[in-house]
Structure 1
Amino acid sequence: MVLTVHRPDRGTTGPVSAVRAGGGRSLKRIRQALVGLAAVTILGTTGYVLLGFTLLEAVYQTVTTVATVGFREVRPLTPAGQVFTIVLILLGVGTVLYNLSVILEAVTEGHLREHLERRHMDRDIAAMHDHVIICGYGRVGRSAAEFLAAHGHRLVVVDNDPARLEQVPTGTAHLCGDVTDDTVLCEAGIDRARAVIAALDTDADTVYVTLSARAIRPDLVIIARARTTGSKAKLVLAGADRAVNPQRIGGRRMAVFALQPDVAEFLDVVMHDDEMDFQVQEVHIERGSSMVGRSVGELELQQRTGALVLAVRRGTGLPFEPHPPDDLVLPAGSVLIALGTESELDSLAQLSSL
């Protein structure tokens, strides 16, 4: 299979670190201030029109009056016009000055807050290690971010749509930029990351990000979203460890719930319910571990830790071996899929590291 990928055209926009800057509140205050200024202008203009001024003269007279610039009247004022002008000065000048100060404060405060929060977030990202980078904050990316955050994992969300980033929960690090640019991946700390989840809007973008991430970090775990069945092979060829089609997985899960609802619910609870005492986790047996070269029966893992080994994979790409027999020897690089309480699984992980 030949994989040809052209980088999507992103124009001239470069990567920009972005944070939520409280823009919604600032814009609301600015809109309210502009409404106040417009109300004063309309009130003054209406009054002068009723006093016999033309529309242009009325607008001009209102602006010069509330701006206190000191120009003479457009035309001589009658006693009624003088009284109206006095009232306009007393009410209008104060209103204009107040609303102008609100606009200035909102603008400067927003920029200052954005600058300070950006610096703080950039420092947080620079200090992160073993985190997960989520590329794309659509429905799939958002769901992945929520799951990771709920389980205490550190993450950085990257998207080129500021409106999407407004939906990122407070406290979650995020960047606004073109994730197909290697600079953005570096800003997100890809050199220190644990994994990348590529969940972009198009398969072309996802393939390009997968290629870039794999080139930067050959040892990185990369999970890519496949929008079509045909794109899965391309994503794996590009360097993804897993290519996931959410629609296909969702359909299969619905079918399992229809045919074996109790089994499906049990797996759901064990994998995703934090209140469940038992969990399923994977335990890696690295080179140098005391488990290497020994059989499952010899190790007596359940007796020593309480955790039940459901399956074993004795190397990357090899099939799982469910309910491993006692004479199964564990080489370096094996992965144990175990069921147990948090303390039991911790004991198993500690034993594997000895």
Structure 2
Amino acid sequence: MAPLHRIRIAVLALAGVTVFGTVGYLLLGFTLLEASYQTVTTVATVGYREVRPLSPVGQVFTMVLIVVGVGTVLYNLGVILEAVTEGHLRRTLEERRMNKEIGALRGHVIVCGYGRVGRSAADFLRSTGEQVVVADNDPERFADLDPAVPRVLGDVTRDEVLLAAGLATARAVVVCLESDADTVYTTLSARALRPDVVIVARARTTGSKAKLELAGANRAVNPQRIGGRRLAAFALQPDVAEFLDVVMHEDSLDWRIQQVPVAAGSALAGRTVGECRERTGVLPLAVRRSPGAGLEANPSADAVLPSGAVLIVMGTQAELAALCALVTGAVLE
């Protein structure tokens, strides 16, 4: 039973005993104030004199009230001391505060599993300014997590834990659990609850990648395979690998690679790649004309951007900001 629920029951029991005693003394001929005073002093075992002389019936009633009232008070004391000394109350209040904070989030990213891969993903997401909610069933993994980061303690294979992490309003879900079976199950659950959410899953083995995509993951990533390829890239083409590393992950360079969706009604819809570059100064690298279509690298300046396309560009922070401003409503002149 939750600590706050136990405290609530204890307080209601004490209130019930107080009402019981007050009504009993009223029936014995006491006034309301006298009945309330007699009940409180009796239950609290203060030991003051009776307000009025008690008849045999009143004495029996008082004995019953002492037994019931003292037992209730001791129960209240035990519940409160347990909640305070064992930290139950503090954890419950923190959990409520966290749930309220998560409920207010919109467009955040849920990281399922806070192991080495999950920690790395969460750190990178936060470094780019994204709002992150971390979910894991091991409380010890939260020891080094920034207190400002919302977290949910529980098994992410369960629907209620995903919903508690704000799946209904999340932008994406990153699943990086210890076993492929749990990752597949969590991916299935997330896809069933939110058919439109972006799901990126960690594949521990090469064979599980196809299964994760069948389960509903938009992308399945094998960190070991990517790590091996990066090692080989640094060995064969170190300058190319370093450049890609810098523009994707480092803050020391002003240049960035970013994807920009061309939504319906956007100022870019129906315009050419060349117009986009002339207006903002960004360098178009590739374009995906529609969901599911292949990427067209190095698009020509005459290529038209239809609604629903995704444009991948490279530019400075100022150039990317100008491009985003166009996408969100500015009009090309």
Q: TM-score normalized by structure 1?
A: 0.67
Report the Cα distance in structure 1 between the residues aligned to 2:119 and 2:143, rounded to whole angstroms: 12
Counterpart amino acid of residue 213 in structure 1: A
Where does structure 1 differ by over 4 angstroms across 4 or more consecutive aligned residues?
Answer: 104-107
- 1:173 Cα deviation (Å)? 1.0
Find the counterpart in structure 2 of residue 239 from structure 1: 216
Query: Which residue, 315, 329, 335 being the options, matches 2:290?
Result: 315
- 1:125 Cα deviation (Å)? 0.8
SS of structure 2 residue aligned to 1:329? coil
CA contact (8 A) 2:84 2:90 kept: no
Report the Cα distance in structure 2 between the residues aligned to 1:153 and 1:290, rounded to whole angstroms: 25
Report the Cα distance in structure 2 between the residues aligned to 1:331 and 1:201, rounded to whole angstroms: 41
- 1:327 Cα deviation (Å)? 2.3
Counterpart amino acid of residue 186 in structure 2: V
Report the Cα distance in structure 1 between the residues aligned to 2:183 and 2:86, rounded to whole angstroms: 37
Asked whether 1:193 is paired with 2:170, we answer yes
Query: Which residue, 119, 133, 158 being the options, matches 1:142?
Result: 119
Report the Cα distance in structure 1 between the residues aligned to 2:165 and 2:83, rounded to whole angstroms: 30
The equivalences for 1:259-338 within 5 A come to 259-297=236-274, 300-338=275-313
Find the counterpart in structure 1 of residue 234 from structure 2: 257
Asked whether 1:211 is paired with 2:188, we answer yes
State the Cα deviation string for residues 111-141 of structure 1 (Å, max 9, x = none).
3332332222121111111111111111111
Report the Cα distance in structure 2 between the residues aligned to 1:282 and 1:105, rounded to whole angstroms: 53
Report the Cα distance in structure 2 between the residues aligned to 1:262 and 1:275, rounded to whole angstroms: 16
Aligned residues: 250
The equivalences for 1:149-168 within 5 A come to 149-168=126-145
- 1:350 Cα deviation (Å)? 1.7
CA RMSD for the aligned pairs? Answer: 1.8
- 1:292 Cα deviation (Å)? 2.3
SS of structure 2 residue aligned to 1:268? helix
CA contact (8 A) 1:285 1:353 kept: no
Which of the pair has the greater relative contact order for Cα pairs under 8 Å at 6+ separation? Answer: 1
Report the Cα distance in structure 2 between the residues aligned to 1:281 and 1:301, rounded to whole angstroms: 14
Report the Cα distance in structure 2 between the residues aligned to 1:164 and 1:296, rounded to whole angstroms: 46
CA contact (8 A) 1:165 1:176 kept: no
Query: What is the identity percentage for the equivalent residue pairs of Structure 1 and Structure 2?
Result: 61
- 1:107 Cα deviation (Å)? 5.2
SS of structure 2 residue aligned to 1:249? helix
Report the Cα distance in structure 1 between the residues aligned to 2:255 and 2:316, rounded to whole angstroms: 4
Range with bigger deviation, 187-196 or 273-282: 273-282
- 1:109 Cα deviation (Å)? 7.0
The equivalences for 1:98-113 within 5 A come to 108=85, 110-113=87-90
Can you give the 5+ residue segments of structure 2 that lack an aligned partner in the other structure? 3-80
Counterpart amino acid of residue 198 in structure 2: V
SS of structure 2 residue aligned to 1:191? helix
Find the counterpart in structure 1 of residue 152 from structure 2: 175
Report the Cα distance in structure 1 between the residues aligned to 2:299 and 2:278, rounded to whole angstroms: 15
Can you give the 5+ residue segments of structure 1 that lack an aligned partner in the other structure? 1-15, 17-103
SS of structure 1 residue aligned to 2:260? strand
